[in-house]
Amino acid sequence: MVSENTREIAEKAVKTSDICIKTSLSGITLDNPVIPASGTFGFGYEFAEFYDINVLGSIALKGTTRDARYGNPLPRIAECTAGLINSVGLQNPGVDAVVREELPKLKKCFFKPAIANISGFCVEDYVYCAERLDKEEQIGLLEINISCPNVHGGGMSFGTDPKSAYEVTKAVKAVASKPVYIKLTPNVTSIAQIAKACEDGGADGISLINTLLGMRVDLKTRRPVIANKAGGFSGRAILPVALRMVYEAYEAVKLPIIGMGGIASAEDVIEMMLAGATAVEVGAQNLVDPYACKDIIEALPATMRKYGINNLCDIIGGAHK
């Protein structure tokens, strides 16, 4: 006798058999385009307590630096309308500990290629981390973060200058055998100029956008809420900015784009892909709802059918036509 649960699964498979939600990043096939963004999903295995994380397209691991970092002083988080401001400051155990301890934990519960997110304070930092993580079987591609607004002397300082973006990209590509995607900051005058510099440096793709700069002031103390004064503003409020920048980057370069910034629904995924993204990352919404990515993936087939879409790959950059 067929159980109700089995029958439901079979019926769901029939209903979605005509819908393709697969996509591909530099030769790596993803079952779907939804990827938890770095910094909002830990090293992945923490969320395996909530659901089978193998439903995800991939996972962008927590930002990793050459040496261990405690991060910025507390408080680091401030709530705001339709989003939040964070100034965590790349807290992580350092690349050697990530390879030794974090990746083996992830391997036990996630069986797809993961995305290593790398940050640094000089070109040599990026190169060192890229060399270490490029050798790891679990890592499918490297996401080079030249856009973190919460550290001094590195991160975003590389992403606001085309020459520096080019130099970091070229140096990492010289030591990496796996695809290299450069994560860009929105805190620039021309996102197209930075994207083009990364392309010229040999990047295989780009990711955007990282957080905007923002702050809150406590009315009682009359002081900034965050100890670092300002931090990265993320959440649903920044989706229009992210869409505009992905659209501009798509027109400027011939590279695959991982789009992110304010994504919280299947509709947002489709909108971002129409703007030019090949895949998407979901960030702040994971902090609001640990099931966010799973729910978005499950909603994609019905949402695609609603808008007459059979294959997600067919709509990439569709808003430009």
User: Could you tell me the maximum CA-CA distance found in the chain, to the nearest angstrom?
Assistant: 68
In a domain, 8, yes or no: no
* Residue 121: count of CB within 10 angstroms of its CB: 18
In a domain, 169, yes or no: yes
Q: What is the pLDDT of residues 310-320, one digit of tens each?
A: 999 999 999 99
In a domain, 164, yes or no: yes
Assess whether 109 carries a catalytic annotation: no
In a domain, 83, yes or no: no
Q: Tell how strand 139-145 and strand 114-118 pair up.
A: parallel
- Per-residue pLDDT band for 8 (boundaries 50, 70, 90) equals low
Closest of 149, 151, 259 to residue 214, by C-alpha: 149
List of residues 6+ apart from 111 with CB closer than 8 A: 54
| pTM (whole model) above 0.85 | yes
Question: Count of residues for the chain?
Answer: 321
109, 122, 148, 313: the active-site residue: 148
Query: For residue 6, which phi and psi values (nearest 5 degrees)?
Result: -65, -40
Contact 280, 258 (CB under 8 A): yes
**Domain residue limits at 309:** 19-71+88-213+230-320
Q: Residue 289's domain is classified under what CATH number?
A: 3.20.20.70
List of residues 6+ apart from 297 with CB closer than 8 A: 21, 32, 34, 55, 56, 57
Q: What is the pLDDT of residues 114-143, one digit of tens each?
A: 999 999 999 999 999 999 999 999 999 999
Q: Domain count of the chain? A: 1
* Sign of the C-alpha dihedral computed for residues 71, 38, 248 and 79 taken in this order: negative
